[in-house]
Structures are given as C-alpha cells and as structure tokens.
Structure 1
Amino acid sequence: MNPEIWETLQNRQSAATFKISLSMVQIYLRRTLKWSYRASTKATLKPPLAWEQNCYEAFLRLGFTVHRDNMHQSWIVNCDQTGVLLIPTASDHTCSLRGFKRVELHGNEEKHAFTSSITTFLDCGTLPAL
C-alpha cells in the first residue's frame, strides 16, 4: 500500500538485503489480491449406472464363447495402454481469485510422452517387446 518504501530501500546505503518471508507473500496474495492456491479442474468421465451388470454380461459372453468354441487359455488376451510422460509438466496447481469454480491451466497440452501397451495371455504368457 506504500510504494515509496521501495525508493527508501533502494536509496539506503546499508549492505543489508531486503527479504520478504514466504508467509508474508502468501498473506499479501490472499488478502490484497484475493488469490488462493487452487487445483486445476478437469472434466471427469463417470462410469455408466449399470457398469456392474455390463461387466457381468461381458463375463458370461466370454465364458460362453470359450466353452462353445473349446478355446485354449493362450487364445484369451488382455491388452491395455497407458501414457508415460518423459518430461512431466510443472504442476496441476495455480493461483486464482477466490470463489472461481473453474480454474484452467495453460501450457499443459505440450507434453512429451509415449504410449506403453502391455498385453498378457490368460495362461500367464506375455507378448515380446517390439
């Protein structure tokens, strides 16, 4: 609230360095700028209401197909993919005005990543890495 304090500190002939504590900065951000430390909001996917029934029906279809076609265990394969970040982004947090319901982060789209695909067989075998 007193910008002239900076001029007084600059004109001072002492060798002391002016320091501001982290708690002082946090108080200034919270009270004066009305900022708060917030997590980024993301759209989430919700499972369907009948997910348990869908899983049960998929299990029954798989069991019926294995029995009907006399399939060997090694023919049943599970494959899954996951993203692996080479250079993680800084954070999912930022400062925002208090009361905001939606907080967006910019620059999180540029990621250096690859997709890892893991495949396993029901008889405990795995596919070789390519």
Structure 2
Amino acid sequence: MEVLISCLFQLKHPAIVKVICKQFQNFCAISVPVSHVLVKSQILGIIQSHAPKLLKDQKFKCSDTFIHKFLHSKLQWFMCTSTQVMQKTPDNWEKLCEDMFMHFIYYIKIFDIPAELIINADQTGICLIPVGNKTWACTGSKQVNTFAKDEKRQFSLMVVSSAASIILPFQAIIKGKT
C-alpha cells in the first residue's frame, strides 16, 4: 500500500516532487544534516504550499516508509552516520587531570577552605536545533559532512554544586544579537 501511495504521489504531482528534490539537494550542497524530522517537515511544508488538498486526502500519509522510499528512489540517498571528527582528547589528558587535582588538594589544605566553598561547575549545551549523528546522503558517499555539528545552534546551561552537597540555581548563558 505504501509503495502504491508513493508511486501515485510521484505520478500525480511531478512538480512537487521536483521542488522537494531540489530542496534536499540544496541542503546536501551546504552540508545541512538531513534528519527524519527535517525531511518530514519540509515535505509537509512544500505540499501545504503547493497542493494543500493532498494533505486532506485520507490515502496520503507522510510516514517513515514513504520518506525512506521517496529519498532512496528519487535522490538515491540512504541513512548513514556522519564521518566528521567531533573533537580530540589530548594525548597527555591523564597527566593534565592529575596535575589539576594536585593543585586543588594543595590550595584546599594550605588555605583551609571549607566544603561549602569548594564548588564544581560544569556547563552543557542545550540544542535549539537537535542534530543527530545520522543524516541522509548520496549513495556511495565516502565522506559525510554535516553543518551545525559543532554546537553552533545552542545555549549553555551552567550547573554548580558544592562539596557540601549544595546545588546552586542553574544559569542559562545565551549570546545573541538584537
């Protein structure tokens, strides 16, 4: 049934199919990660603007199977994992951690710092545009690059706790332009 719907969609609406394919080729050209959520929203948005009556048709469903078959048959794309390196740990990371730990012990002991003043702070990125490690890419691609993989679309959340088991209020760090 799903294959039939896919074929009928492509036969009855070739202009929409062409617009959708062009949109995803443009995404690929600028290394935008093409996730399942992006594909579905783009297809539904293009259909909404070009043939809104199609969305009211009970037979048409923009299901996972439809999306998979559409991208594979029209663009020869398949789901794959990004091959770009995210970040590298220094070779001497263990020594660096040990040195930092020794500095902490030294200052805590010398200055008699109470547990309430010994804090641990960390920050985590909260993604505004979630990007997974998989994307749709051309069949046979050796290198799969993605845009926005290096935390460009997020804000930071600062979490702080003390050695005395006190958790301080979270702080959201947002940098933007007005």
TMscore range, shorter length: 0.5 to 0.7
Given candidates 90, 101, 106, the residue that maps to 1:48 is: 90
Label 1:73 to 1:89 Cα distance change in 2 as closer, same or farther (>3 A): closer
Cα 1:71–1:40 shift into 2, 3 Å: same
The TM-score with structure 1 as length reference comes to 0.60
- d(CA) in 1 for partners of 2:100, 2:131: 40
Number of the residue aligned with 1:76 = 118
SS of corresponding position for 1:99: coil
* Structure 1 gap segments, 5+ residues each: 1-5, 11-16
Give TM-score scaled by structure 2 length.
Answer: 0.47
Structure 1 residue runs of 4 or more that deviate by more than 6 Å after TM superposition: 107-110
- Spell out, residue by residue over 1:75-98, the C-alpha distance to the aligned partner (whole angstroms, 9 max, x if none): 11111111223x554754333233
Once the two structures are superposed, the pairs formed by residues 1-130 of structure 1 within 5 Å of their partners are 22=65, 26=69, 29=72, 35-85=77-127, 88-89=129-130, 92-105=133-146, 111=153, 113-129=154-170
Structure number with larger C-alpha Rg: 1
Aligned residues: 113
Kindly provide the CA deviation profile for residues 93-129 of structure 1, in whole angstroms up to 9, marking residues without a partner as x.
Answer: 3332333222234587884x44221100111112235
Fraction of identical pairs, as percent: 23
RMSD of aligned alpha carbons: 3.9
Greater relative contact order (CA < 8 Å, ≥ 6 in sequence): 1
Q: State the distance in 1 between where 2:166 and 2:115 align.
A: 10
Structure 2: any 5+ residue segments left out of the alignment? 1-7, 13-58, 60-64, 172-178
Taking the aligned partners of 1:110 and 1:45, their CA distance within structure 2 comes to: 14
- The answer to which structure has the higher helix fraction is 2
